[in-house]
């Protein structure tokens, strides 16, 4: 495999996306860390984004402000979501 | 072209069952339904079995509830690829499982799932049908009492009377959560029945299907119907049974409404 191996957190988030959004027949391997989740990539839409934000908040005990201007960037890919979750968790521990 | 004539269920509505399709746990093809019609019996429904709906890609299947899958499974083949058909969705209890899940989240003080919330309304499945099949015509979502089936067929017959050459009627119910066991007693197992209704054409236009006259008699002062005279099966399933064993008539009574079905061809 030439693609960079995904981290444990990235795999976990890919699985969370599959479970939360009821993406039957897909496995985490079908959602590479750098593949865009919305639009031309996986094909998620705005309702999926809301659903996913809810699931991430529940699973990782983080807060995602609804007016966060960077949300679009955080939700771009599995990799960016994993980085966002890590940052939030570190911030929570430090605070 | 003659102008469509007004239809009145008291006079009797003539309609053709051009095609039918049904789903229940373990009853997924014509042979299985023929066997069920010959000897109607309970179906085990604890496993939450549901149609695969493999004709839809994963991304289009992701928001379909079990009830929606049952509806798509039975309705899908009855509508042609480039056909626009009026759509009638009838369900007495609708998306009760989604509502129950939402109520649980409220009790647990959890945020509500936007998907569950958005799709818990009664016309959600009709909307999904419209989106998935590119249907831009009329659609109706009905909830009645134990005779929801007849009301849905009546609505479909009205579409024919208003000029449609065919109409699609789906009645679907899902076994409710056990919390509802004391209140919901008319869903022995999950089922969906789809009928493609057409107009009754002259006899020489012989083709598949059967013709029926549906008549409604009602009496505001009718005595309550004894339980023994009520239909043992949901009306949609009982009609399907009569259709398959080629009964010439049947009567479904609910409260003051007496629905009489007469086979005319």
Q: Which of B61, B63, B114 lies nearest to residue A50, judging by beta carbons?
A: B114
Tell me, yes or no, if B219 comes closer than 8 A to chain A by beta carbon.
no
> Do B110 and A58 make contact, defined as CB atoms within 8 angstroms?
yes
Predicted structure pTM score:
0.92
> Do A23 and B115 make contact, defined as CB atoms within 8 angstroms?
no
Tell me, yes or no, if A25 comes closer than 8 A to chain B by beta carbon.
yes
CATH of the domain at A73: 1.10.1200
Residues of B in contact with A41 (CB under 8 A): none
Could you give the angle at the alpha carbon of B200 between the alpha carbons of B217 and B206, nearest 5°? 135
> Do A24 and B58 make contact, defined as CB atoms within 8 angstroms?
yes
Residue A51 lies in a domain: yes
Q: What is the ipTM of this complex?
A: 0.85
In this predicted model, what pLDDT tens digit does every residue of A70-88 receive, in sequence order?
888 999 999 999 999 999 9
Q: How far does Cα B149 stand from its chain's mean position?
A: 6
Tell me, yes or no, if A21 comes closer than 8 A to chain B by beta carbon.
yes
Residue A83 lies in a domain: yes
Question: Does pLDDT of B112 surpass 50?
Answer: yes
Q: Which of B58, B59, B114 lies nearest to residue A51, judging by beta carbons?
A: B114
Residue A15 lies in a domain: no
pLDDT band at B205 (very low <50, low <70, confident <90, very high): low
Greater confidence, B229 or B245? B245
What integer pLDDT is reported at residue B230 of this predicted model?
Answer: 78
Tokens of B149: 């089936």
Q: Which domains are present in chain B?
A: 13-263 (3.40.47.10)
Contact B211, B15 (CB under 8 A): yes
Question: Does pLDDT of B172 surpass 90?
Answer: yes
Q: Which of A26, A51, A54 lies nearest to residue B58, judging by beta carbons?
A: A26
Residue A84 lies in a domain: yes
Conformational region of residue A22, where left means phi above 0, alpha means psi within -120 to 50, and beta covers everything else: left
Residue A13 lies in a domain: no
Tell me, yes or no, if B137 comes closer than 8 A to chain A by beta carbon.
no
CA distance A29 to A22: 16
Q: Return the bridge partners of B173, or none.
A: B191
Residue A49 lies in a domain: yes
Q: How many domains does chain A have?
A: 1
Average pLDDT over residues B256-263: 94
What integer pLDDT is reported at residue A1 of this predicted model?
Answer: 46
Q: What H or E segment, with its residue span, contains residue B106?
A: helix B96-107
Domain that includes residue A51, residue range: 35-95
> Do A51 and B113 make contact, defined as CB atoms within 8 angstroms?
yes
pLDDT band at B1 (very low <50, low <70, confident <90, very high): very low
What integer pLDDT is reported at residue B206 of this predicted model?
Answer: 59
* Stretch 42-81 of chain A: residues touching chain B, C-beta under 8 Å: 42-43, 47, 50-51, 54, 57-58
């Amino acid at each position: 495999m030439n693609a960079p191996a995904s981290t444990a957190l990235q795999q976990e988030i890919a699985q969370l996306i599959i479970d939360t959004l009821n993406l039957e027949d897909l496995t985490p391997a079908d959602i590479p860390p750098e593949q865009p989740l919305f639009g031309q990539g996986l094909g998620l839409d705005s309702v999926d984004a809301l659903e996913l934000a809810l699931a991430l908040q529940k699973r990782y005990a983080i807060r995602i402000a609804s007016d966060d201007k960077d949300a679009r960037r955080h939700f771009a890919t599995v990799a960016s979501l994993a980085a966002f979750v890590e940052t939030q968790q570190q911030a929570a521990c430090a605070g | 072209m003659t102008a469509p004539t007004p239809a009145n269920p008291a006079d009797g509505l003539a309609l053709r069952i051009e095609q039918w399709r049904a789903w229940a746990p373990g009853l997924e093809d014509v042979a299985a339904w023929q066997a069920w019609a010959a000897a109607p019996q309970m179906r085990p429904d604890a496993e939450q079995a549901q149609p695969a709906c493999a004709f839809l890609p994963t991304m289009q299947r992701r928001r379909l509830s079990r009830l929606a899958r049952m509806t798509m499974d039975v309705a899908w083949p009855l509508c042609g690829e480039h056909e626009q058909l009026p759509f009638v969705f009838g369900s007495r209890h609708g998306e009760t499982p989604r509502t129950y899940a939402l109520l649980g989240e409220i009790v647990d003080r959890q945020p509500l799932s936007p998907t569950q919330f958005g799709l818990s309304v009664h016309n959600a499945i009709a909307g999904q049908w419209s989106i998935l099949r590119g249907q831009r015509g009329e659609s109706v979502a009905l909830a009645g009492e134990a005779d929801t089936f007849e009301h849905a067929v009546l609505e479909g017959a009205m579409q024919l009377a208003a000029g449609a050459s065919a109409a699609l009627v789906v009645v679907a119910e899902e076994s409710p959560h056990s919390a509802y066991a004391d209140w919901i007693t008319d869903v022995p197992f999950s089922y969906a029945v789809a009928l493609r209704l057409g107009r009754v054409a002259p006899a020489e236009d012989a083709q598949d299907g059967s013709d029926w006259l549906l008549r409604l008699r009602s009496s505001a002062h009718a005595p309550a119907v004894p339980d023994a005279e009520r239909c043992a099966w949901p009306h949609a399933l009982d009609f399907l049974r009569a259709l398959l064993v080629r009964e010439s008539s049947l009567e479904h009574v609910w409260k003051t409404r007496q629905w009489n079905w007469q086979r005319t061809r």
